[in-house]
């Protein structure tokens, strides 16, 4: 499906605020794809569609999970705010003919994952650092992302952990594992100097 058609469906499916965020993610995903030599059109499509399931009512989301046999891990079962990534991945494969790798970028855009592809990292970061976001950490990560995706991800994940702690939310193991992986890689680089 062409980008314009996906954007039209996103506009019809999302609130104005969420749609504007998605436009920002699509724009930032293209910017990062250009820097890192990734497919810009694919990044744009994933960016506009990444939150397609974000505003589903909880009952509808639960019905979708059951209907499609989507497996939610223990933490996801307790944190419905995480469901939209897996639901969105399925929806985009059904509605927009996204490939599995494109859908995987949607799955990974919330918590991250130690096995993220370059596109996964681009979408993960574009979601957090698009120009409508203005917290100090996001602004810092926006600059760092121009030269080091992993370091920008670490900044974002640290911020996510702080946010979860203030909200008394569970912290997904994917987030912790990803942070640990980047920290260990950074230590290894330092030791090589």
Min mean pLDDT across 22-26, 65-69, 105-109, 189-193 is at 189-193
pLDDT of residue 134: 86
Q: For 97-118, how does the pLDDT look when each residue is reduced to its tens digit (9 = 90+)? A: 999 999 999 999 999 999 999 9
Structure tokens at 160: 């996510």
Identify which of 172, 170, 54 has the alpha carbon closest to the alpha carbon of residue 114. 172
Determine the Cα angle at 86 with ends 109 and 33, to 5°.
30
DSSP string, 109-133: TTT--TT--HHHHHHHHHHHHSTT-
Q: What is the mean pLDDT of residues 2-17?
A: 97
| 193 pLDDT higher than 80 | no
The residue written with tokens 């497919």 in the block is: 39
Q: How high is the pLDDT of residue 192?
A: 84
77-99 per-position pLDDT tens digit: 999 999 999 999 999 999 999 99
Prediction pTM value? 0.95
CA atoms within 13 A on the CB side of 164: 19
Average pLDDT, the chain: 96
Give the total number of structural domains in the chain.
Answer: 1
CATH number of 142's domain: 1.10.3210.10
Q: What is the span of the domain harbouring residue 30? A: 3-192
Quick one: pLDDT band at residue 190, thresholds 50, 70, 90?
confident
Helix (H, G, I), strand (E, B) or coil at 134: coil
In sequence order, which ranges of the chain are alpha helices (DSSP H)? 3-13, 16-36, 40-49, 58-67, 74-78, 83-95, 100-107, 118-129, 136-144, 149-167, 173-192
Q: For residue 51, name the pLDDT band (cuts at 50, 70, 90).
A: very high
Mean per-residue pLDDT, 9-38: 97
pLDDT for 47 beyond 90: yes
Rounded CA gap, 186 and 49, in Å?
Answer: 32
Stretch 29-36: mean pLDDT, rounded?
Answer: 98
Q: Which of 172, 127, 142 is nearest to 18 (CA)?
A: 127
């Amino acid at each position: 499906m062409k980008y314009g058609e996906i954007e039209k469906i996103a506009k019809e499916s999302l609130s104005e605020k969420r749609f504007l965020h998605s436009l920002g993610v699509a724009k930032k995903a293209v910017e990062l794809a250009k820097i890192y030599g990734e497919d810009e059109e694919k990044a744009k499509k994933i960016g506009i569609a990444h939150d397609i399931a974000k505003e589903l009512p909880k009952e509808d989301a639960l019905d979708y999970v059951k209907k499609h046999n989507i497996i939610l891990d223990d933490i996801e079962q307790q944190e419905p705010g995480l469901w939209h990534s897996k639901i969105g991945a399925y929806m985009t494969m059904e509605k927009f003919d996204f490939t599995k790798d494109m859908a995987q970028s949607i799955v990974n855009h919330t918590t991250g994952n130690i096995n993220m592809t370059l596109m996964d990292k681009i979408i993960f970061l574009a979601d957090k650092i698009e120009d409508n976001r203005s917290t100090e950490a996001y602004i810092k990560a926006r600059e760092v992302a121009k030269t080091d995706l992993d370091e920008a991800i670490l900044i974002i994940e640290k911020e996510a952990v702080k946010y979860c702690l203030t909200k008394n939310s569970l912290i997904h193991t994917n987030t912790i594992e990803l942070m640990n992986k980047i920290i260990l890689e950074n230590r290894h680089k330092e030791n090589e100097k």
